[in-house]
Amino acid sequence: MTDLDRMLEGNTDWKKVEELEQTVWMAQSDPNCPTFIRQGSVNSYMRILKRALQSCKQKVEDLNKAANEYYSENQLAMNSKQMQKMAHFRLLAADTTNEISLVDKNLTTAKLFAVDSSETEQLQNRRFPLITPTRVRERYARQVRVVTEILTMMEDLLESVKNADEKYTATFLSEN
């Protein structure tokens, strides 16, 4: 879990996350592994994803707060490029918030185990392998990664707005 928490600071060791994913998938597919161990490992993995989503939600709120403070302090001094970047930041923040709530809602109602499925659903899973419980878990893991990548982009965008202000001020002062 500490690796996934550090993901938001950009210090993620993706190899460790990948190892965790592989361990969960291998335990799920191994017929010799007891069911309660499989379900326990998958449930703990889902809890980790939910915690990562909660920290993502907190990070979005912190970034929004920082952007609002910066905007209220420098609103009159911002140039058009900065305003455009700030608008893009706000759109990304709204989209990320919606994505987080959607993934969180889907994680809560996801069918994570084949034993929870009815016979018709199991037949359907054989026909359409993309909706098997393993694929569902992989999809949610990817979605959490996408959210963290978007958060990194949002941080970079906010920094570019702040740094563009300094560059703009420096060129403006040098022209006078």
Question: Averaged over 147-162, what is the pLDDT?
Answer: 88
d(CA 32, CA 8): 36
* Angle between helical axes of 80-109 and 35-74 (0-180°, round to 10): 160
Measure Cα distances from 146 to 53, 115, 150, 152 in Å. Answer: 11, 29, 6, 10
End-to-end CA distance of the chain: 53
- Tell me, what's the pLDDT at 60? 92
Residue-wise pLDDT tens digits, 40-82:
666 777 777 788 888 889 999 999 999 999 999 988 888 888 8
Hey, what amino acid is at 92?
Answer: L
Portion of the chain with pLDDT greater than 90, in percent: 15
Name the more confident of 168 and 99: 99
Contact by Cβ (8 Å): 90, 66? no
Residue 153's Cβ-count burial label (10 Å; 0-12, 13-18, 19+) is middle
- Tell me, what's the pLDDT at 145? 83
Which sequence spans correspond to the domains of the chain? 2-175
Contact by Cβ (8 Å): 39, 113? yes
